[in-house]
């Protein structure tokens, strides 16, 4: 790159910055590539813009529409990913490293778009039910709702994943209607700026929903209120400093940290060098040491192995590491790139010196380390370094000092309890891996390891065919960990969205709760009409539209016929003597017969707007139905979700959840469930 550009911040809808400030260098050859901008950011303007413009713009949409925007944005970025890959090379990342950052980040947008579409309502109130009766006569009930906080989210990210780190926080907060201010780490902020320029150019994001800060956050944190939220990814030391910001404490601003931690991998005592699991263990450790040049918050820093196998593990790791080609990531065959900067190189060097005191270096720079490529002598390349600590129970350094690069320390143990004790010495980690063949060992070890690790990855031959690996946080599962790891949670599916919403308890009559939540609450007023609810189009249906069916008396013939059709000849339905000795004292109908009979009572069979029944939730059989009992059903429109989709003919569809209550002749509830249907729109 010959022209050195000045990076810009995106503040209040405009790009800010023209005067050069801090120089940024290529990790590969140390060439000057960018400058940060010298202009100071008016953070009062940024915060006001987020609150006055971003919040109203996002609140004009609902969860479903915001999920649709995330999907469209993901598609837009995916079409332009090669531009990002090219810039990512400057950070020292290989193509596989960049894949995690670029397509991993875009994939996270896709994942949250999908989860939001499936699991969130077409409103801005998320009902966390079910409602519960708070009085004896049915007139007073309570439930919980989650609503947008009305504030903004400040996301402070680390240098190692400039795209994924930003997008994995942006996606759930955007779904929660929180405008974001993103602050990437300066060293690799040029890659974040590139993707934000794409996002801005797409025109897909509502005005004020995203702002970018290049450089210092200044007094930004001092301007936040209790409606806002702060997330941080980076070092434990920086997290500790930010956490005690006086304004954050005074206003109880939620602060979530995901900090670097001394993650571990445990080779269980049942695994021998002849087992496939042994090689899986070695491969996983080597991959975590060299992927992203070891610059991952989830990287394996401590390798915990049985004392009798330490030499075998060391030898196989040496063999693997010796084959790793280090150099310019744009060159074919290079498997490990550079650290992100020369500052990072100096930091890792200092920490390796500290770790080496009293320990052995099993593999390192002396073992033929020679990066390939033009100008790499000036780059931030660091040799994969494997250390060995033979007395880890009495060596605090290996459990306290983290070299944030391709560095890991082997340590020995005798007995699984000692291995778990060593794992816990990390004082809280993001992830641990247990490699074992024995389910009994996993059953014993995982609950113990889970107390000090945010995620536990069990690896053996069966899981290996699909495993995403030790160091891959997934959008569907929690990412974060206790203690040193920051004590926070990220990702985890819709749980992450809930972190950015405000939970409130609501009390009132069932009718009032139904109005507030947008869901029918049992005991609330219903609307009955001559038009069957299944004859109404999606737009015409209203929450509370209801049908009380005619009655049906269950006969012995019904039970016999259902048994013959289903093949279910369970004694409670057919053996008069055995049934008489049971807790029910008599023969009873199949639960699934009751379910089927109820459908026969409420279904409108002719073609109409209801296209398909595609699910059933929360099924419970409450009271047994005996021969001679008479049942009826109440079908009520519980919830509508407009997923803004059309079929292949261009006909719009929505999802409707129906509350079904089946009662007997004594008005006792015998079955309770929700059914989910696709319902056609008029247009």
Query: Under 8 Å CB-to-CB from 77, ≥6 apart: which residues?
Result: 84, 106, 109, 195, 198, 199, 202
> pLDDT tens for residues 484-523?
888 888 888 899 999 999 999 999 999 999 999 999 999 8
pTM of the model: 0.90
CATH superfamily of 263-472: Aldehyde Dehydrogenase; Chain A, domain 2 (3.40.309.10)
Angle at 480 between CA 479 and CA 483, to 5 degrees: 165
Catalytic: which of 193, 277, 288, 297?
297
Instruction: Give the DSSP H or E segment for 267.
Output: strand 263-267
Q: State the average pLDDT over residues 609-616.
A: 89
Residue 450 to residue 481: CA distance in whole angstroms: 10
* Residue carrying the six token digits 């989650």: 146
pLDDT tens-place string over residues 559-589: 999 999 999 999 899 888 988 888 888 999 9
* CATH code for the structural domain at 519-680: 3.10.129.10
φ and ψ of 397, to 5 deg: -55, -40
Q: Quick check: is 297 catalytic?
A: yes
Q: How far is CA 448 from CA 33, 65, 424, 452, 527, in A?
A: 48, 42, 9, 8, 53
Instruction: Compute φ and ψ for 469, nearest 5 degrees.
Output: 100, 165
Termini Cα distance of the chain: 53
Confidence (pLDDT) at 574: 86
Q: Per the structure block, which two tokens stand in for 395?
A: 């060596």
63-72, 347-356, 604-613: range with lowest mean pLDDT: 604-613
- As given in the structure block, the two tokens for residue 46 are 């940024």
Rg of the chain, C-alpha, whole Å: 30
Query: How sure is the predictor about 393, in pLDDT bands with cuts at 50, 70 and 90?
Result: very high
Residue 2 banded pLDDT, cuts 50, 70, 90: very low
> Across-strand partners of 637?
658
Q: Rounded mean pLDDT of 41-46?
A: 96
User: What pLDDT, on the 0 to 100 scale, is given for residue 260?
Assistant: 84
What is the torsional sign of CA 142, 146, 147, 151? positive
Residue whose pair of structure tokens reads 């339905």 in the numeric block: 573
* Mean pLDDT across 346-359: 93
Respond yes or no: is residue 530 known to be catalytic: no
Choose, from 258, 284, 402, 519, the residue flagged as catalytic. Answer: 258
CA separation for the pair 30, 376 (Å, rounded) = 8
CA distance 337 to 290: 8
Residues 417-422: what's their mean pLDDT?
96
The answer to whether residue 319 scores a pLDDT higher than 90 is: yes
Length of the chain as a residue count: 683
Confidence class of residue 369 from pLDDT cuts 50, 70 and 90?
very high
Per-residue confidence (pLDDT) for residue 368, from 0 to 100: 87
pLDDT digits (tens, 9 = 90+) for 187-198: 999 999 999 999
pLDDT band at 3 (very low <50, low <70, confident <90, very high): low
Task: Provide, rounded to the nearest whole percent, the portion of the chain with pLDDT above 70.
Answer: 100
Query: What's the confidence (pLDDT) of residue 58?
Result: 98
pLDDT of 1 over the 50 cut:
no
- The answer to whether 408 and 281 have CB atoms below 8 angstroms apart is no
Mean pLDDT of the chain: 92
Tokens of 323: 């084959």
pLDDT in tens, 205-260: 999 999 999 999 999 999 999 999 999 998 888 888 999 999 999 999 999 988 88
pLDDT band at 307 (very low <50, low <70, confident <90, very high): very high
Domain range annotation of the chain: 5-16+37-124+147-259, 263-472, 519-680
What's the Cα-to-Cα distance from 122 to each of 66, 73, 177, 204, rounded to whole Å? 10, 19, 13, 19
The Cα 268–Cα 273 span in angstroms is 12
628: pLDDT strictly greater than 70: yes
Of 238, 257, 267, nearest in space to 430 by CA: 257
Q: What is the mean pLDDT of residues 69-76?
A: 97
pLDDT at 446 over 60: yes
Is 140 buried (19+), middle (13-18) or exposed (0-12) by CB count in 10 A?
Answer: middle
Q: Which two tokens stand for residue 493?
A: 């599916």
* Segment 67-77 mean pLDDT: 96
Superfamily of structural domain 5-16+37-124+147-259: Aldehyde Dehydrogenase; Chain A, domain 1 (3.40.605.10)
Place of tokens 């931690």: 261
Query: Looking at residue 258, what is its pLDDT?
Result: 87
């Amino acid at each position: 790159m010959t022209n050195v550009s000045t990076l810009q911040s995106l503040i209040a809808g405009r790009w800010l910055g023209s005067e050069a400030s801090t120089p940024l260098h290529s990790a590969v050859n140390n060439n000057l590539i960018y400058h940060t901008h010298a202009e100071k950011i008016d953070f009062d303007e940024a915060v006001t813009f987020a609150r006055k413009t971003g919040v109203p713009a996002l609140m004009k949409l609902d969860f479903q529409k915001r999920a649709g925007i995330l999907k469209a944005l993901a598609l837009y970025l995916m079409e332009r990913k090669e531009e990002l890959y090219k810039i990512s090379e400057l950070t020292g990342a290989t193509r596989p490293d960049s894949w995690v950052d670029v397509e991993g980040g875009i994939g996270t947008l896709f994942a949250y778009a999908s989860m939001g579409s499936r699991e969130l309502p077409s409103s801005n109130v998320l009902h966390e039910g079910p409602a519960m009766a708070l009085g004896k006569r049915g007139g007073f009930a309570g439930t919980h709702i989650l609503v947008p906080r009305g504030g903004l989210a400040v996301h402070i990210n680390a240098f190692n994943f400039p795209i994924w780190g930003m997008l994995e926080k942006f996606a759930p907060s955007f779904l929660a209607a929180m405008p974001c201010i993103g602050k990437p780490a300066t060293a690799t902020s040029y890659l974040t700026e590139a993707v934000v320029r794409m996002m801005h150019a797409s025109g897909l994001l509502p005005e004020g929903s995203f702002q970018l800060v290049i450089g210092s956050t200044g007094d930004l944190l001092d301007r936040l209120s209790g409606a806002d939220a702060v997330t941080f990814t980076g070092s434990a030391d920086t997290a500790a400093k930010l956490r005690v910001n006086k304004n954050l404490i005074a206003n109880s601003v939620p602060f979530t940290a995901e900090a670097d931690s001394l993650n571990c991998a445990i080779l269980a005592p049942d695994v021998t060098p002849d087992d496939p699991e042994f090689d899986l263990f070695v491969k996983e450790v080597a991959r975590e040491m060299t992927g992203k040049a070891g610059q991952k918050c989830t990287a394996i820093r401590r390798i915990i192995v049985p004392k009798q196998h330490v030499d075998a593990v060391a030898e196989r790791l040496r063999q693997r590491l010796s084959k790793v080609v280090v150099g310019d990531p744009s060159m074919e065959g290079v498997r490990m790139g550079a650290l992100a900067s020369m500052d990072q190189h100096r930091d890792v060097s200092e920490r390796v010196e500290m770790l080496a005191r009293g320990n052995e270096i099993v593999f390192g720079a002396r073992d033929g380390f020679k990066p390939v490529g033009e100008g790499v002598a000036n780059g931030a390349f660091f040799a994969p370094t494997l250390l060995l600590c033979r007395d880890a129970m009495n060596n605090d350094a290996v459990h306290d000092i983290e070299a944030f690069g391709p560095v890991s320390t082997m340590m020995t143990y005798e007995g699984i309890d000692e291995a778990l004790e060593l794992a816990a010495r990390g004082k809280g980690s993001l992830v641990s891996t247990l490699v074992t063949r024995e389910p009994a060992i996993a059953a014993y070890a995982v609950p113990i390891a889970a107390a000090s690790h945010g995620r536990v990855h069990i690896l053996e031959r069966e899981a290996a065919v699909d495993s995403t690996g030790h160091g891959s946080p997934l959008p569907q599962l929690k990412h974060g960990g206790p203690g040193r790891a920051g004590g926070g949670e990220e990702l985890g599916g819709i749980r992450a969205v809930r972190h950015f919403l405000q939970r409130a308890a609501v009390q009132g009559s069932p009718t009032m709760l139904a109005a507030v939540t947008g869901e029918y609450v049992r005991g609330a007023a219903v609307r009955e009409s001559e038009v069957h609810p299944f004859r109404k189009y999606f737009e015409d249906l209203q929450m509370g539209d209801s049908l009380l069916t005619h009655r049906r008396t269950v006969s012995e013939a019904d039970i016999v016929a259902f048994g013959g059709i289903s093949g279910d000849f369970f004694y409670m339905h057919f053996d008069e003597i055995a049934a008489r000795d049971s807790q029910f004292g008599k023969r009873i109908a199949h639960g699934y017969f009751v379910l089927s009979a109820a459908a026969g009572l409420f279904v409108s069979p002719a073609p109409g707007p209801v296209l398909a029944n595609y699910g059933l939730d929360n099924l419970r059989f409450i009271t047994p139905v005996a021969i001679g009992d008479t049942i009826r059903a109440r079908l009520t429109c519980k919830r509508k979700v407009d997923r803004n989709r059309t079929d292949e003919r261009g006909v719009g569809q929505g999802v409707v959840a129906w509350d079904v209550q089946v009662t007997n002749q004594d008005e006792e509830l015998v079955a309770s469930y929700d059914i989910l249907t696709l319902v056609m729109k008029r247009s």
